[in-house]
A and B are shown apart, each in its own frame.
Chain A
């Protein structure tokens, strides 16, 4: 959300020749970037409109890689066909983790990497829904966190830390890292207000899980 560069985080590693699946690719900015680094990406999105934007962007970039219209819970692609599956505030936020994480495990080769950035339990707990703002106060319960339905927004998913860990292990992943993002000094976000960015300097509002399919 604060556009921390991958060159700083180095989550994904070397790209050349890697088969990569982006879950919830939107207009495919990420996959286009990765293709430029020599990777072989496939972009997946559940929105036909988003994929239209992606097709236009591909044409502009002079690139051609597959775009798949499907939900992350049921991907019409063969087992063990990717080295990396990733999402950047993508399908991981809008698909049920109990369905999409095992699906990601199926799609990955042994030793393959799953990395995704999204919301955090802190953000979910501290959202004051009636006032529509982040607060330094627990509003929502931690236990039972799963499906989050706001009055107007789409259904989103977030899990307690222990639930994520058990889901990864049960799906055959080793847990490598949980990177909690603190906005860098002076960072501005087009997604977040100044107050929210201040909040996020104290408590994690964005995190990246990095897990690896067992060899």
Chain B
């Protein structure tokens, strides 16, 4: 089974849970990751008003809904029909329509140079093969276009056990050779690269690396709901999430 099929199966299983959370997520302000850090604090995005945006691995498309409310013209793509169904239901509920497409971020049936921003939060950014989806994002973006994607923290991945348990302080796997990860609990296939590999891949595909925002959990707040991710105390000391910001050369 290809990683796309495996991940579609995994996400079909996750879908009911994410359908429950979708109304809350759609109603939120623009926040990043499991610690809900507001975009106003991180400044990962350009002014998106008037931009054509594509969300790669949009799931229930809450990111695209936030972009739409900021004046962007979003398109969401995802491989999992059950997730897109939730996204369509949210569109009706919130009166916010934009195109949703069943497609893999590694092979998007849309024209070259038709977007100003490609974005992914725990979407294609970790579930698709970066050596396929980054070139595809480069193809879809206009010159000068922005690429912004959130991934799990690199150090966190190295400290995460195979079972669905949070990272501790021990480095359980090597950094050299980081690429494809299959976790015991779900059988889903994730992709995580080292820093140097990300930079090389982005450069080779015509991107200028602009920023790497390593998210530190805020000192206080509600705990997150993911048993496989480290708690606030760990995430105050080491990054549990990272946002790469790059720009296609003009």
Bound complex: CA A180 to CA B216 (Å): 24
Q: Which residues of A have CB within 8 Å of B51?
A: none
**Contact status B171-A165, CB under 8 Å:** no
Name the interface residues of B161-177: CB closer than 8 Å to any CB of A: 169-172, 174-176
Q: Which residues of A have CB within 8 Å of B239?
A: 142-143, 160
**Contact status A138-B199, CB under 8 Å:** no
**Contact status A165-B242, CB under 8 Å:** no
Contact residue range for chain B? 20 to 34
Bound complex: CA A209 to CA B235 (Å): 26
Q: Which residues of A have CB within 8 Å of B175?
A: 122, 180, 202-204
Bound complex: CA A174 to CA B202 (Å): 13
Q: Which residues of A have CB within 8 Å of B211?
A: 162, 165-166, 169
Q: Which residues of B have CB within 8 Å of A165?
A: 209-212
- Given A136-B170, A137-B170, A203-B171 in contact, is the A161-B214 Cβ separation under 8 Å? yes
**Contact status A137-B200, CB under 8 Å:** no
Q: How far is the CB of A140 from chain B (nearest CB, A)?
A: 9
Bound complex: CA A145 to CA B208 (Å): 25
- Given A136-B171, A174-B208, A202-B176 in contact, is the A142-B238 Cβ separation under 8 Å? yes
**Contact status A203-B242, CB under 8 Å:** no
Give chain A's interface secondary structure class: mixed
Contact of B169 among A122, A137, A175, A203 (CB under 8 A): A137
| Centre residue among A142, A201, A207 by max chain B CB count within 10 A | A142
Q: Which residues of B have CB within 8 Å of A137?
A: 169-171
- Given A138-B155, A160-B214 in contact, is the A202-B174 Cβ separation under 8 Å? yes
Taken residue by residue from 191 to 217, chain B's Cβ proximity to chain A (1 for < 8 Å, 0 otherwise) reads as: 000111001100100001111111010
Q: Looking across the interface, which residue of chain A has its beta carbon closest to that of B202?
A: A175
B236 within 8 A of A: yes
B159 within 8 A of A: yes
Q: How many residues of A contact B (CB 8 A)?
A: 29
Q: How far is the CB of A178 from chain B (nearest CB, A)?
A: 4
A179 within 8 A of B: yes
Contact of B238 among A141, A178, A182, A203 (CB under 8 A): A141
Bound complex: CA A169 to CA B158 (Å): 28
**Complex A-B, nearest 7 residue pairs according to Cβ-Cβ distance, in ascending order:** A162-B212, A202-B174, A178-B196, A141-B237, A138-B169, A136-B171, A175-B209
Q: B residues bordering A, Cβ < 8 Å?
A: 155, 158-159, 169-172, 174-176, 194-196, 199-200, 203, 208-214, 216, 236-239, 242
Contact of B176 among A141, A166, A176, A182 (CB under 8 A): A182
Q: How far is the CB of A2 from chain B (nearest CB, A)?
A: 14
**Contact status B199-A175, CB under 8 Å:** yes
Name the interface residues of A141-191: CB closer than 8 Å to any CB of B: 141-143, 160-162, 165-166, 169, 174-180, 182
Q: How far is the CB of B112 from chain A (nearest CB, A)?
A: 24
A126 within 8 A of B: yes
Q: Which residues of A have CB within 8 Å of B237?
A: 138, 141-143
**Contact status A180-B214, CB under 8 Å:** no
Bound complex: CA A94 to CA B214 (Å): 25
Bound complex: CA A207 to CA B170 (Å): 22
**Contact status B171-A126, CB under 8 Å:** yes
Q: Looking across the interface, which residue of chain B has its beta carbon closest to that of A200?
A: B176
Bound complex: CA A161 to CA B175 (Å): 15
Q: Looking across the interface, which residue of chain A has its beta carbon closest to that of B175?
A: A203
Bound complex: CA A207 to CA B200 (Å): 14
Q: How far is the CB of A124 from chain B (nearest CB, A)?
A: 12
- Given A137-B169, A142-B237 in contact, is the A177-B196 Cβ separation under 8 Å? yes
